Structure 1
Amino acid sequence: MGPPANSPSPPGSGDAAVASPKSAVGSGNGDELEASAVQNAIEADDTADDHVDDSASDAAYESDMNSTGSTSVSSSVRDYVFENNRRYHKFQEGRYLLPNDDAEQEREDMKHAMCVSLCSGKLHMCPLENPQKILDLGTGTGIWCIDMGDEYPGAEVIGLDLSPIQPSWVPPNVRFMIDDVETEWVDPPNSLDYVHGRHICMTIKNFPRLAAQAYTALKPGGWIELQELRFKIFCDDGSAPEGEGYGYTKFINLAMAGFRSFGFDPLVMENNKNMLIDAGFVNVEEKIWKVPIGAWPKDRTMKTIGIYNRSLIMDGLHSVGIKPITKGLGWSEQEVELLLVDVRKALMDASNHVYYTFHAVYGQKPGGS
């Protein structure tokens, strides 16, 4: 059973198609990765097992997932709404389409550990020097803020989010605020050393305005950094079916169309570098990592990342897709679940040597010493 008659058709293969194997880094149809920005290569393991236990490598990330602290967070907005058996934020209801329940929080913390591992243990890529005040946009569970507070004990680290889901005990230099980053910022001009946003492409509708507000709030010489997963599937060796022949690509196309119907651009990171330049930032750089999906890489670290990434995707299919596809495109929950059967089969097939990419773009406000 397909979507209702009035549901928009899925976008064409130009939106999130499996890239052609003609190029090691893209399709030749506008999907190329800037080779000089790519930080890693992935070699396939021909002996990869389709049925690797996605929980087998939990211990490798356990130290990254556990954080302790010493100062309680002030209580704030605590109301929630429930839909499709998932819990969502109440403050500014509808601004964020993903749930904020325990399952999604665990997935977000796992995504944090995966991204830090992908970046060789680094929490940021820009060359920070003795930052005094750091702002994290869309902080989620607050795990990045907590780790940054530990790494920079002399800095004040502030996490901003719509949901009050952060831990009640954090390092003494870390605090959280419940607010909408798309409203007017309360930070005085020239007051911040570093503005960070990760996985916020499905939260922000006006990125140029956000960049302008960050520019004003940053001190001369301060940095902004935006880190995003780019939901566009690549395959360098032709092992995966092209276009929507690969089930996960069909899901991505539908979910992205659903997000766009709410006014979000899930592929905004494709223009983040130019956006920061247009906002007036200098020393703008972009770094790109290939993120494998599944156990197919030969390199042990990349294989572990691939297993974790597949688990993140599998666990997040419902949370990422249910609201955009049902509310945005008019599908029923049952139709979405039927779609996910083929998506899960594609994801568990290790013969599909597919990946998407992780982008870190950073720039500096002119001036400073």
Structure 2
Amino acid sequence: MMHVTRVWDMGYVNFNPLLIRSSQLSPCSNVLCSPTSSFSISRGSSTATSLSSSVRNFNFENRRRYHKYKEGQYHFPNDEPEQEREDMKHHMIVALCDSKLHNEAINSPQNFLDIDTGTGVWAIEMGETYPEADIEGIDLSAIQPQFVPPNVRFIVDDAEARWLYANDSVDYIHLRHMAPSIKDWPKLLSQAYRTLKPGAWLEIQDIVPECQCDDGTMPPGQQYAPAKMMDLIKDGLAQFGVDLRAGKSHEGRIKAAGFQNLVHDTKKVPVGTWPKDSRLKSIGSYARAVIYDGLHGNTIGPFTRGLGWNPVEVEIFLVQCRKEMLDDSVHPHIFYHSYSAQKPLAKE
């Protein structure tokens, strides 16, 4: 597996004051009024508490570790192998996007919100790039590093629950790789719209796991095991109301939420080292490693929970997937989708 430097190897000295927010908890407003953060929380029903031991706990299933807070809502693991893979995926996306962390120009940055922050790698790099900004990352899992830049903090919360941020309070909202976890996109986008300041930007990034091929080297339909695997993950998540490939159809949802100046960009992502171009070959190597290293973690939940497979059946199926993924005579690719949209300026 490709080595990725973890964020806690970078020598940060600021301790991450990880919090949990939930409408089910007792009010503790002082936690959210830290002078190190300029985020504005709606006080009508704002509740918070210091991170409880129950959120630090995890569930274990089929030799993988999962989130405990609102258990079962996300069907993929959060253990060390998965964290390494997620960081690798981040570096692949940055390479694909010519080393850019975001699409739209940011002037006088203040409050950035990273929804489903995962390991927090994007939030941390943004904190380094914009030291005068406040960066807040939200995730169901408390897996982010303890030592982070002084302008970065992480919250344990559910992106599909009611957001507690005040109206018109955030300058930039970033959502990446959220298709495998979101059931109600209109609700999520409505909350993002309400929270953003007039003129502020929303950015959504997703890789759509759907094998395609331009040169006829990939067997058709589900004869290619990796393509069948992606289709089965989609089918498994569909049992829980999740659309794995929502990332290719956000335009209508974003417009319906009220956003304007929408830009939808797509990029082809080769899977494997078959491209002749050195840059694409490097990206393809990343992509194959991201998928290969995630074969067990990405399938075991959707297959057993959603499709009713037993773990042995999953392992047997993955043998063929691993074999075919290493065959560079097949030239598959997937697509990366990026959406940028702006909340209209307030009417004078």
Q: Which interval holds the TM-score relative to the shorter structure?
A: 0.7 to 0.9
Pick aligned residue for 1:86 from 54, 64, 67? 64
Distance 1:185 1:121, change over 3 A: same
Corresponding residue number in structure 1 for 2:332: 354
Aligned residue for 1:153, secondary structure, equals coil
Contact 1:237 1:353 in 2 (8 A): yes
Aligned residue for 2:203, secondary structure, equals strand
Aligned residues: 312
1:71 paired to 2:49: no
Alpha-carbon RMSD: 1.7
Pick aligned residue for 2:171 from 193, 198, 204? 193
Tell me the TM-score normalized by structure 2: 0.87
CA distance in 1, matches of 2:132, 2:8: 23
Corresponding residue number in structure 2 for 1:309: 287
**1:172-321 equivalent positions in 2, closer than 5 A:** 172-321=150-299
Corresponding residue number in structure 2 for 1:120: 98
In the TM superposition, residue 80 of structure 1 has moved relative to its aligned partner by: 0.5
Distance 1:226 1:95, change over 3 A: same
Q: Which has the higher contact order (CA 8 A, sep 6+)?
A: 1
Aligned residue for 2:328, secondary structure, equals coil
CA distance in 2, matches of 1:207, 1:368: 24
Contact 1:65 1:109 in 2 (8 A): no
Contact 1:205 1:264 in 2 (8 A): yes
**What is the aligned-residue identity percentage?**
45
Ranges in structure 2 where 5+ consecutive residues have no aligned partner: 19-50
In the TM superposition, residue 368 of structure 1 has moved relative to its aligned partner by: 5.8
Distance 1:341 1:65, change over 3 A: farther
Tell me the TM-score normalized by structure 1: 0.82
Contact 2:65 2:78 in 1 (8 A): yes
Which 4+ runs in 1 deviate beyond 6 A? none
CA distance in 2, matches of 1:298, 1:94: 42
Q: Deviations over 1:76-125 (max 9, x none)?
A: 22011100001111000011111111111111111101110110001111
Greater displacement, 71-80 / 156-165: 71-80
Give the letter for the 1:207 counterpart: W
Give the letter for the 1:153 counterpart: P
Contact 2:94 2:101 in 1 (8 A): yes
Give the letter for the 2:243 counterpart: D
Greater displacement, 212-221 / 69-78: 69-78
Contact 1:195 1:225 in 2 (8 A): yes
Give the letter for the 1:143 counterpart: V
Corresponding residue number in structure 1 for 2:133: 155
1:171 paired to 2:149: yes
Aligned residue for 1:338, secondary structure, equals helix
Ranges in structure 1 where 5+ consecutive residues have no aligned partner: 1-53
Distance 1:303 1:274, change over 3 A: same
CA distance in 2, matches of 1:126, 1:80: 37
Aligned residue for 2:327, secondary structure, equals coil
CA distance in 2, matches of 1:158, 1:212: 19
Contact 2:8 2:145 in 1 (8 A): no
